[in-house]
Amino acid sequence: MNDDPWLDRWLPLLAQRAGDLPVLELGCGAGLDTAVLCEAGHRVIALDLSQVSIAKAKAHAPAAQFHCQDVRAPFPVGPESVNVVVASLSLHYFPWDETRALVGRIRRVLGQAGVLLCRLNSTNDRHYGAVGHTALERNYYLVDGAPKRFFSQPEVQALFAHGWRWLCQEENLIHRYVYPKAAWEVVVERTEAA
């Protein structure tokens, strides 16, 4: 049983948009979302920085293609070569300028009207680092030795202000972990105008 079925409601949209192109997953972790995507019939190209996570992900989704790399490194797909990118809780490790640049790179690999489905740490995520840590910049903290960004609603809006059309922006609680985690669920569509 999937304790975090967030992708389920988006599977019809993914089926419509992906077509016969692969889905690019950024920060696949242990492969729980990768498995959902593969079970829905998608070819998945998944990235993660951790070899340990990649090994777990391969066990959950052996049909996927995995790359152990930083998401800031060149993606293993070319411009406009996918119509769906999934990035669940993987875009929050970077300074603001790097985060914006990463979103721009995601936009460039998407075809016309391609979609990005992502989840971003909320500034209301009190259990997992939004309070009580050393600030590196606004809403960006050193949490247990690692940088971690938390997004306010205006920051989510700013991140996707140009070159995107909104399909969904909701603040939800994730029940995948010991305590509930507050996160923004965002679905945006690439537009021609950047």
**CATH code for position 96:** 3.40.50.150
Separation of alpha carbons 27 and 46, rounded Å = 7
The reply to whether 149 falls in a domain is yes
Positions of the chain with pLDDT lower than 50, given as ranges:
1
pLDDT of residue 5: 93
pTM of the model: 0.96
Separation of alpha carbons 54 and 20, rounded Å = 24
pLDDT of residue 1: 44
> Angle at CA 81, nearest 5°, toward 192 and 169?
55
Q: Report how far apart the first and last C-alpha atoms of the chain are (Å, whole number).
A: 40
The reply to whether 174 falls in a domain is yes
Domain count, the chain: 1
The reply to whether 104 falls in a domain is yes
> Angle at CA 31, nearest 5°, toward 26 and 36?
95
Separation of alpha carbons 30 and 59, rounded Å = 9
The reply to whether 90 falls in a domain is yes
The reply to whether 2 falls in a domain is no
What are the tokens at 108? 């460039």
**Within 13 A of 167's CA, how many CA atoms are on the CB side?**
17
pLDDT of residue 2: 59
CA distances from 149 to 68, 102, 122, 173 (A): 22, 14, 9, 17
CA distances from 96 to 58, 114, 156 (A): 31, 24, 11
Q: CB–CB of 47/77 below 8 Å? A: no
Boundaries of domain holding 46: 8-190
The reply to whether 1 falls in a domain is no
Closest among 172, 167, 194 to 183, alpha carbons compared: 172
